Structure 1
C-alpha cells in the first residue's frame, strides 16, 4: 500500500485502517453540516463540543470578516489590541469574581498547560518550591500535550508516551453513593504538604465517558483545597459556555476556582482560542523586577485579533440575547427524549447534565476500544447524523439552536442502534 498516496492527511483520533474514508463537508449552517454530495448532516456533538449558537452564526461571521480586513495578527509580547482588551474585559465580567487576570492561548490543551505552569510558578516564586505535586481525578482528560496527558487518565491514549510524562496523584471518580471516598482521598493527599494544585473537570468528565457527578461534590472538593491552601484548577474547556446548564459548570456548585481554563465555545465554535484566568495572587507572584520570575509561556498566535473578535461577538450574543433560556429549553427537550431510554434494557446508566445527555449501550466488550464504536459511528452516518460514540458510550451534545424534531430523529436512531447492536 502506498500510504502517502492513499492517506496524505493524517486525521486526529482516527485509525485509518478501520476508517479509510473521510466525509467531505462543503458548508454548514445552524445545527447542520452539508456534505460535498449535498447531504444535510445533523451535528449532534457540536463538532467536537465547540459549536454553541450554531454554525456560521451571522454576528460571529460578520465580526471575523470585519476584523480580518483591519488587523489580522500582531505579536502579543509588548503589544496589545482592541479585540483582546474588549474580550478580557467581558470575560472578567461573566466569570467568577475571584478571577482577575486573563492569559491567552490557542487550544484547550495549551490553556491547561498554562494553568499547570501558573500553579508551579506561583509556589516557586513564593518560596514554596517543594510544592510540586499535582492531584487529578480518575478518568479525567485534559488534552493531548505532554503535560495534559500527564494529568489525564493513563491508558491506551497515552501508553506509548509514558516515558515523557510526570507522576501525579489520582483520587477516585465520585461514584453514586460513594462520593465521600473521593473527598476523603483528596483530604488525605492534601495533608502531605507538597500538593501544588488539584485539577478537575467540573460536573462532567468528557472524554472519560461523559461521567457525571453532582455540584455538591464539586463544592466539597473545593473546600478541601481551601482548607489545605491547595490551588483549585477548573478545566472548563468542555463544560463551559452553557453545556451543563449554566454559563460555567462551577457556577452550579457556587465554586470560584483559583485558576480556570476556557476554550471550545469561547468563539462560538468558529476559530481556535483559549484563555486561562487566575486570581491576583498568582499574577502577583510573577510580578517582579527580577526577570527570572517572568511567566515563561507563549504561542505565536497568542490573542490573535481575528479569533478575539469572534470571541467578543460570542460574548455579545450571550449578553444581549436569551441564550440561557435557549439552553434551558434544549435541556428540557433532552430530558424528555432521554426519558424514553430509561425503560430500554439495552442501555445502562442513562444520564444528563444540562444540554449533555449520555447512555451506555450494553455490549460484551465495553470501553473506548469496544468494536461497537466504529459500527455505531457508521450506523449514524448512514442516517445523516454526526454522533461519535466513546466506545459503547453514546452521547448527544448539540448546538443550542437544535429543535425538538432534530432530537426526535436522533433518539429514534439511538433506539434503533440499541436494537441492532445491543446485547
Structure 2
C-alpha cells in the first residue's frame, strides 16, 4: 500500500491509509474510460450519473469551445449573459407548474443548501418566527455540505459522525403504509410551528442505498406537505434528466414541488453546474423594499457561461434525440439481465427503475474485492454498502450494456457462492 503522506491529493470518500492507488484516466469516449496503462473500461455509472449522453459528445464539446472563445466567465452580480438567460427560460419551460425562477450554483450540495435557505427565509420574510427545521426521510442523502448533511439519514448515513454538529431536523420513514402515513401526518402536526419545509428525493433515494418508492408514495408526501402548509423541496439531482424514465421524476406522481434542485446530468457530465428552481410564490416572498429580505447567496462562479453553454447543448440533445425511448430500452435490458440473480442465496433484492439497476446483498460484501473483479472484466462499477448498481449513460451501446450485465451476473454469482 502506498504511503498516503507522500501524495498531495486527498481523494473523495476514501480512507487514505488503506485504499489502493487510484487508476489514472487519460481519455474518455462514449461510455468508455481509457486508462494510462492502455486498458479501456465500460463505465457502468456514467461518472456518478452525470454523463447522460456519454463522454465527449461532439455537440456539447462544440458549444463549450465556442463559448470559451467568446467569454469563459463573468461575474453574475450585476451582470447577466445570454447562455444563463436562455438556460433559465428553457428549464422553466420544461418543468411543471410555475417553477419559473432559477438560481444557479455550482454543485448539487450547494443547490440543496440554497433550497433550505429559501425555505427558512421565506417564513422569516413573511414575519413568522421559529420555522427553521426541515422534515426529511430516513435512508435519504442530499449532499456533503452542512445543511445538506443535516437532512441526510442521521443514523445510517455517511455523515452520522457529525450528529452533534449538525442542525437538528425532523426525520420520518417514507409513507409506504397506512401506519407510516398516519405517523408522518401526526409528526407534521406536532412539529408544525417549527417546520420550514419537507425535502425528498423523488422515486429513488440515491446515495443512501438506491432505495425506490412508488409514485403514489411521492404523491402522498406532497399531499401531506400541502395539508400542513409546508413547501416541498424535490431533490432531483440524481433523478433529473431522464434517469427514472421521465425527464423529471416528479412527473410520475403528477406533483409540482415548491422548490426543485438539479445538478449531475444538467450539463451532460461536462461542467460543474447546479440549479435551485422555485415557484412564483416562493420567489415573491423575497420581493421587498428591504434589502435584507433578498436571498443572500452568490457563488463566485454562479451561472458560469461555459457551464450554461454545456447545459443548453445537453437540453438540445434531450429535445432532438430519443433519450427517453433509450431509457425504456435500458430499463428492459436491466430487468432481463439482472433477474437471474434474484434467487441467489446472498441476494436480498433486485430492483430496476428507468436506467437504474440495483442488486442488494443480504450482507455487505468485500467492496474492494468486488471492484477488482469488475475491473478484471473490463468494467467500471462502484458498489457501496450492501449494493452494487448500474446507472449507465443513456446513450450506452447495447453491446456495452450487455457486457456490463454479464460482468454483474458473474461478479454477483461469485460473491454469493
Which residue of structure 1 aligns with residue 172 of structure 2?
A: 171
Which stretch shows the higher mean deviation, 114-123 or 35-44? 35-44
Q: What does the per-residue CA deviation read over 1:323-369, in whole Å, with 9 as the maximum and x for residues that have no partner?
A: 22122221222122122222333322111111101011233xx3xxx
TM-score, normalised relative to structure 1: 0.94
What displacement does 1:2 show?
5.8
Determine helix, strand or coil for the equivalent of 2:153: coil
Which stretch shows the higher mean deviation, 10-19 or 219-228? 10-19
Q: What does the per-residue CA deviation read over 1:3-31, in whole Å, with 9 as the maximum and x for residues that have no partner?
A: 432x2111101122332311100111111
Which residue of structure 2 aligns with residue 184 of structure 1?
A: 182
CA distance in 2 between counterparts of 1:153 and 1:76 reads 34
CA distance in 1 between counterparts of 2:158 and 2:385 reads 13
Contact 1:337 1:407 (C-alpha < 8 Å) held by counterparts: no
* 2:355 paired with 1:355: yes
What displacement does 1:130 show?
2.2
Contact 1:139 1:173 (C-alpha < 8 Å) held by counterparts: no
Which stretch shows the higher mean deviation, 112-121 or 182-191? 182-191
Determine helix, strand or coil for the equivalent of 2:164: helix
Q: What does the per-residue CA deviation read over 1:34-81, in whole Å, with 9 as the maximum and x for residues that have no partner?
A: 111221101101111111011011100000110011011111111100
Q: Find the partner of 2:393 among 377, 390, 399.
A: 399
CA distance in 2 between counterparts of 1:390 and 1:133 reads 30
Q: Find the partner of 1:408 among 402, 411, 416.
A: 402
What displacement does 1:186 show?
2.3
CA distance in 2 between counterparts of 1:242 and 1:215 reads 15
Could you say if the C-alpha distance between residues 398 and 206 of structure 1 is closer, same or farther in structure 2, counting changes exceeding 3 Å? same
CA distance in 2 between counterparts of 1:167 and 1:249 reads 28
Which residue of structure 1 aligns with residue 44 of structure 2?
A: 44
Q: Segments of 4+ in structure 1 off by > 6 A?
A: none
Contact 1:102 1:277 (C-alpha < 8 Å) held by counterparts: yes
Which residue of structure 2 aligns with residue 96 of structure 1?
A: 96
CA distance in 2 between counterparts of 1:329 and 1:156 reads 33
What displacement does 1:320 show?
1.7
CA distance in 2 between counterparts of 1:171 and 1:331 reads 30
Q: Which runs of 5+ in 2 are unaligned?
A: none
Could you say if the C-alpha distance between residues 2 and 403 of structure 1 is closer, same or farther in structure 2, counting changes exceeding 3 Å? closer
What displacement does 1:96 show?
1.4
Q: Which runs of 5+ in 1 are unaligned?
A: none
* 2:320 paired with 1:320: yes
Could you say if the C-alpha distance between residues 46 and 2 of structure 1 is closer, same or farther in structure 2, counting changes exceeding 3 Å? closer
Which residue of structure 1 aligns with residue 147 of structure 2?
A: 147
Could you say if the C-alpha distance between residues 106 and 83 of structure 1 is closer, same or farther in structure 2, counting changes exceeding 3 Å? same
CA distance in 2 between counterparts of 1:183 and 1:51 reads 36
What displacement does 1:153 show?
1.0
CA distance in 2 between counterparts of 1:114 and 1:394 reads 31
What displacement does 1:156 show?
6.1
Contact 2:260 2:276 (C-alpha < 8 Å) held by counterparts: yes
Which residue of structure 2 aligns with residue 304 of structure 1?
A: 304
Q: What does the per-residue CA deviation read over 1:75-98, in whole Å, with 9 as the maximum and x for residues that have no partner?
A: 111110000000001101111122
CA distance in 2 between counterparts of 1:373 and 1:36 reads 23
Which residue of structure 1 aligns with residue 416 of structure 2?
A: 422
Could you say if the C-alpha distance between residues 3 and 38 of structure 1 is closer, same or farther in structure 2, counting changes exceeding 3 Å? closer
What count of residue pairs does the alignment treat as equivalent?
A: 413
TM-score, normalised relative to structure 2: 0.96
What displacement does 1:306 show?
0.3
